[in-house]
Structure 1
Amino acid sequence: MTLRFCTRSLAALAGSVVLLLAVGPQARATSDSEEPAHVPWTDLLPPLPAGYEPTTENLCVSGQLRCVDVVIREMRRRFDALARRCDHSAVFALTYLRTTEEYRRAIDDPDFFDDTAFVNHEDVVFAAYYFRAFDDWHRNRAPDRVPAAWRVAFDAADRRAVSGQGNLLLGLSAHVNSDLPHVLAAIGLAAPDGSSRKPDHDRVNAFLVRVTQPVLAEIARRFDPTADDGNVRGTTLDETAVFQLVAAWREEAWRNAERLAAARTPAERAAVSQSIEDSAEAKALLLRTQTGYVPPLTDASARDAWCAVHGGDR
């Protein structure tokens, strides 16, 4: 079975999410205990056959829990520095930190994943892709090494050009659409016994759905009070829209990893990789347009003033 996601359909889904988030201020009526609707549709989409290939990444290959704890400490260190100066990159940094903390809670259940140690390895490698892109952009001044989707996200944050919703979606899109396919292909899509690792890939959605609403609420509370303005009274429609968009992106990432793994020559693999980057950049440019401020009508001054007062809240 071959499954391909076209950029146009996912772009339309991204647009619907942005429109839902931006419909206008609504009174918050969703309690912190409520979660977005989780329909595990990706579980029904079988993987393509893939033979076992040992990981080509050497980070935390043994998959020890302490590796995840080290990642969380590094994420917290980076986030705290961004939050103190109300850097717009703090929005995604917070999102990634809270998501990884939720992952750490999930693996307290030894039966949550089939192969927890391997998913720990993936967690560390995945985070390293983000850290490397961030450092190449901000510290090493090497933008040519930064994936195009990340360049769009980081530039928008530096220029304070998009809303908090935009910072969130641009970061998620770059990390899932650009980084994740390459991570999955590098660490391997099948276990040593030949069984697919896709069931564990899909199980990630089960804890992502738990963190979506609290993260949106915290972004609004600390950095941009408009971040959850799409909330519809008494529902979790906005959180559900964001979660389902990310679930769709994660499914596309798996399929793109299959394309990378199936490439027969270095040239073919390079072509697949470039198509992934082109698609991720197109999504980023669309999101930047849809969530961008329109001076002089709108700008970041109100959210920056809010963050100056509330950014240090917990």
Structure 2
Amino acid sequence: MRYGIAARLALVALLGVGQGHAQSVPYVPLTDVLPPLYQDAPAEDRTARCGVDGLHCVRFVEAQLAEWEAFFGCDHRAVFPTVYRLLTREARLQLEKDPGFFDDPAGFGFEALAFYELYEQMITDHLAGRPIPPAWETAMAAAQEGDWTALHDMLLAINAHVQRDMPFALAVVGLTLPDGASRKPDHDRFNQTLNAAYTPIVNEIQRRYDPFLQDLMGEGLLLDNLAAQQLVALWREGVWRNAERLVRHADSGLAPLTADSIEWQAELTAEVLATGAIPGRRALRRAHCERVLAEDRAAGEGSAVSNDTATTAGGGAPSRWWALAAVLGLWQRRRRVCV
């Protein structure tokens, strides 16, 4: 059975997966030596909003993603909230273990909040039938129809959220720390978190959503995991450079062209990844997921994060509006997180 080479290559590039199973790999900080090319005014201190360690905001994001994960259940749109939650969990554990890991942990927490808010806005609009960015439209369409793999669901959503959303989130947060230094070293440090997170991510996606993922990745794409980790860093390097372009051109006539180029890049990648559907895969995945979730419920091992993550971000609860219409995807949810 043949699978899309673009999808297999992209998973290796994004998550460092190869040879049929996820293995830990050493982190080599090659892109860390690349200097920032542009800095804006010093950012506001986010300690009051996210806590001195940033955990207030990171825990909030983790809890929100657990809610989306539970809401979608075995719908293929649940794959990305699971990926995103596990990555956020890894960031939380890093901050809990070493509050000094980032130069500006409060700013990192605020960035996590701003980044998540773009996903929440997209999924709220999607469920309400409103337009969403093209890369996200491709990802959501693939998750809702056809015989796509969990690999496709994961890659298409990661592409949309990172290549499309992240430059805009970084532009909102700013490229400069409150003390005037560049935020790029903190951006680069997060590559270590990604490196640590790929094993639990891939293993959980395979366990819950697609038991054939290991077979898919075992077809012999011979990229070394260490090289794959560097591809992750290089991709995020491009995200940083796009954010620099957004900030530099914010007040010029180039602003629309810069934003359009980011949208185009993410959508082009999505179109390349959206190949290789496998007949019958959807029904097999659904049956597997329902069985696993039933076993998890019986064992009391639901995916919800611990109660200590169920906290609001900032100096009080954000405004909330809930509207439910529980048929054919018309359910709408909005929790506004001001950034």
TM-score class, shorter-chain normalisation, is 0.7 to 0.9
Separation of aligned partners in 1, 2:61 and 2:51: 15
Separation of aligned partners in 2, 1:223 and 1:238: 25
The answer as to 2:99 corresponding to 1:110 is yes
Separation of aligned partners in 2, 1:90 and 1:237: 28
Residue identity opposite 1:293 in structure 2: A
Shift of 1:307: 1.2
Separation of aligned partners in 2, 1:13 and 1:187: 32
**Corresponding residue to 1:71 among 61, 69, 85:** 61
Separation of aligned partners in 2, 1:116 and 1:26: 35
Shift of 1:229: 2.8
The answer as to 2:173 corresponding to 1:184 is no
Shift of 1:163: 0.8
TM-score (norm 2): 0.75
Separation of aligned partners in 2, 1:13 and 1:46: 31
How high is the sequence identity, in percent, across the aligned residues? 37
Separation of aligned partners in 2, 1:87 and 1:209: 27
Separation of aligned partners in 1, 2:56 and 2:126: 28
Shift of 1:53: 5.0
Shift of 1:193: 3.5
The answer as to 2:253 corresponding to 1:267 is yes
Shift of 1:248: 2.6
Residue identity opposite 1:302 in structure 2: L
Name the Cα RMSD after superposition. Answer: 3.0
Shift of 1:20: 9.2
Separation of aligned partners in 2, 1:264 and 1:66: 30
User: Does the aligned pair in 1 maintain the 2:150–2:213 contact within 8 Å?
Assistant: yes
Shift of 1:261: 1.3
The residue that corresponds to 1:223 in the other structure is 209
The residue that corresponds to 2:233 in the other structure is 247
Unaligned runs of 5+ in 2: 302-339
The residue that corresponds to 1:158 in the other structure is 144
The residue that corresponds to 1:300 in the other structure is 282
Q: How many residues align?
A: 284
Unaligned runs of 5+ in 1: 1-11
**Corresponding residue to 1:132 among 121, 124, 127:** 121
Residue identity opposite 1:102 in structure 2: E
Residue identity opposite 2:85 in structure 1: L
Superposition pairs of residues 1-314 of structure 1, within 5 angstroms: 16-17=9-10, 34-52=23-41, 54=43, 60=49, 64-83=54-73, 86-108=74-96, 109-138=98-127, 140-143=128-131, 146-230=132-216, 243-263=229-249, 265-289=251-275, 292-295=276-279, 298-312=280-294, 313=296, 314=301
Separation of aligned partners in 1, 2:27 and 2:156: 22
Residue identity opposite 2:277 in structure 1: Y
Separation of aligned partners in 2, 1:61 and 1:269: 30
Separation of aligned partners in 2, 1:270 and 1:27: 42
Q: Deviations over 1:249-307 (max 9, x none)?
A: 21111000011111163431111000000000000111112xx3144xx5322212211
Structure 1 residues 147 and 94, CA gap change in structure 2 (3 angstroms): same
User: Does the aligned pair in 2 maintain the 1:172–1:246 contact within 8 Å?
Assistant: no
3-state SS in 1 of match to 2:75? coil
TM-score (norm 1): 0.80
User: Does the aligned pair in 2 maintain the 1:216–1:228 contact within 8 Å?
Assistant: no
Shift of 1:37: 4.0
Shift of 1:78: 1.0
User: Does the aligned pair in 1 maintain the 2:77–2:140 contact within 8 Å?
Assistant: yes
Separation of aligned partners in 2, 1:309 and 1:242: 33
Separation of aligned partners in 2, 1:90 and 1:239: 26
3-state SS in 2 of match to 1:283? helix
Q: Deviations over 1:79-105 (max 9, x none)?
A: 01212xx11011111000011011111
User: Does the aligned pair in 2 maintain the 1:150–1:171 contact within 8 Å?
Assistant: yes
User: Does the aligned pair in 1 maintain the 2:208–2:292 contact within 8 Å?
Assistant: yes
Separation of aligned partners in 1, 2:120 and 2:226: 28
Q: Deviations over 1:12-68 (max 9, x none)?
A: 9866345899xxx9775x6xxx4134322221211103132546x9x9476752222
Structure 1 residues 239 and 156, CA gap change in structure 2 (3 angstroms): farther
